[in-house]
Structure 1
Amino acid sequence: MQIEISARKRVLQGKGASRRLRGSGVVPGIIYGGENPAQAIELDHNNLYHKLKLEAFHASILSMDVEGQKERVLLRDIQMHPFKLQVLHIDFQRVDPNKKIHMKVPLHFINADIAPGVKLSGGIVSHVLTELDISCLPKDLPEFISVDLAELASGNTLHLSDLKLPEGVEIPAITKGDNLPVATIVIPRAVAAEEAAAVVAAGDIPTTVQKKEASKEGEKKDSGKKDGGKKK
């Protein structure tokens, strides 16, 4: 999916000028990287704010139109107001089609409902990671990485090396030897307690009452032995 965004060249710069832009519903920003010099830009706040709600906007090659001149860029940084729903500043980086890029892309977890650890053991999937740092050429950049949980059993963990990556995509962490956990299935305490109670009911583990009865029987036997010894 190709996402397009429009911007204008920003002439006035500085804190005062940026403050006036924000007051008029405009977001100051910048495009940098590549062979061309950095370009200060301004964007319509409402249009930008709605695009920021799209997951793909954060992990896709964007088509930036600056007064009729189109460039391929990546979203690199956003500055938000501390408590208002307002974008204060935004940074974009130009893309070189022949150079690899590093991006964080979201993880989409699938088949959790049929995972043995969920379906058979009543477990809950714990997402250790929700996004992944990848490296690839711009043409190979995926909008997301799918994480298949169909075979994940209770107590098992899915690691980076278990992921199926699109062609041309690499995970720098694995190259460095960091095979990080991605997801695992944990058993809730209530489910674990029910399982323990079921085992107890089956007689595999003696209950407190059974232990007390066994203790009393032992005391009786010991008492009988002592009495028998005195009669002799």
Structure 2
Amino acid sequence: MASLKMKTENRIGVGSNEVKKLRADSFIPGVIYKRGEETKHVQVKESEFLKVFREAGTTTIIDLELEGKTHPVIVKDVQEHPVKNKYLHVDFQELNMDEKLKVLIPINLINRDSIKLQPSVLTQLLNEVEVECLPGNIPNTADVDVADMDFTTPIFVKDLDIASDEDITILADLEEVVCTLTEPSLEEDLDDEGLEDVDVEVPLVSEEEEEE
């Protein structure tokens, strides 16, 4: 699986004032941690992080360049501002390419807008699944095609495409339901049809009744 590249710099100041200055200069503070090694404090240009993170998410390996060395990492955690659409801090986990790790993989329902059985309501009950594998085998998503679903047979974890990959161990219950397909309820039918076709009689109120 191809990895992406991102440049970082060592971060000298770690106090709150220094962090504020970094953010004002459009940098995001972060750390690189690896088991058995000292945590590295880094900073990354906000524009570069956003560009790479949009594609990498939390499952794609990033080649993090720091002082002339390349560190294979994944984004383990990001802290977001509660109001502004900005990232405040990022945690990178450095990987040992020969050591398995556990990671959450987002579930992708293919053809969810092209389900053959209509009208119907698709309900996704599970959004991600935990797996264990070598870094080079981390999938971007766990996919399953829902175009041919019916009302009686839900999609299970065992139906995901990664379930047949010998290099990936799924840590979730294989019998856990991922999504279901049901017939729309009467209320949903009315919502779809709208209220413009429903005749409602409005009683007339006479002037004498209004005075009473």
Sort the TM-score into its range (normalised by shorter chain). 0.7 to 0.9
Q: TM-score, normalised by structure 2?
A: 0.79
SS in 2 for 1:173: coil
Ranges in structure 2 where 5+ consecutive residues have no aligned partner: 191-212
Asked if structure 2 preserves the Cα contact closer than 8 Å seen for 1:140 and 1:167, the reply is no
Q: Whose radius of gyration is greater, 1 or 2? A: 1
Number of residue equivalences: 187
Q: TM-score, normalised by structure 1?
A: 0.73
Partner of 2:5: 4
Partner of 2:39: 38
Asked if structure 2 preserves the Cα contact closer than 8 Å seen for 1:5 and 1:65, the reply is yes
For 1:45, give the aligned amino acid. E
Equivalent residues in 2 for 1:1-232 (5 A)?
1-54=2-55, 56-112=56-112, 118-165=115-162, 166-174=165-173, 179-190=175-186
Asked if structure 1 preserves the Cα contact closer than 8 Å seen for 2:5 and 2:52, the reply is no
Structure 1 position 137, deviation (Å): 0.9
The change in CA–CA distance for 1:40 and 1:186 in structure 2 (over 3 A counts) is: same
- Describe the superposition over 1:58-95 as per-residue Cα deviations: whole angstroms up to 9, x where unpaired: 21111100121101011111111111122111100110
- Describe the superposition over 1:20-53 as per-residue Cα deviations: whole angstroms up to 9, x where unpaired: 1111111110000144321000010122123332
For 1:145, give the aligned amino acid. A
SS in 1 for 2:57: helix
Structure 1 position 110, deviation (Å): 1.8
Structure 1 position 111, deviation (Å): 3.8
Asked if structure 2 preserves the Cα contact closer than 8 Å seen for 1:34 and 1:96, the reply is no
CA RMSD between the two structures: 2.2
Ranges of 4+ aligned residues in structure 1 off by more than 3 Å: 111-114, 190-194
Ranges in structure 1 where 5+ consecutive residues have no aligned partner: 195-232
Q: Distance in 2 between matches of 1:74 and 1:120?
A: 39
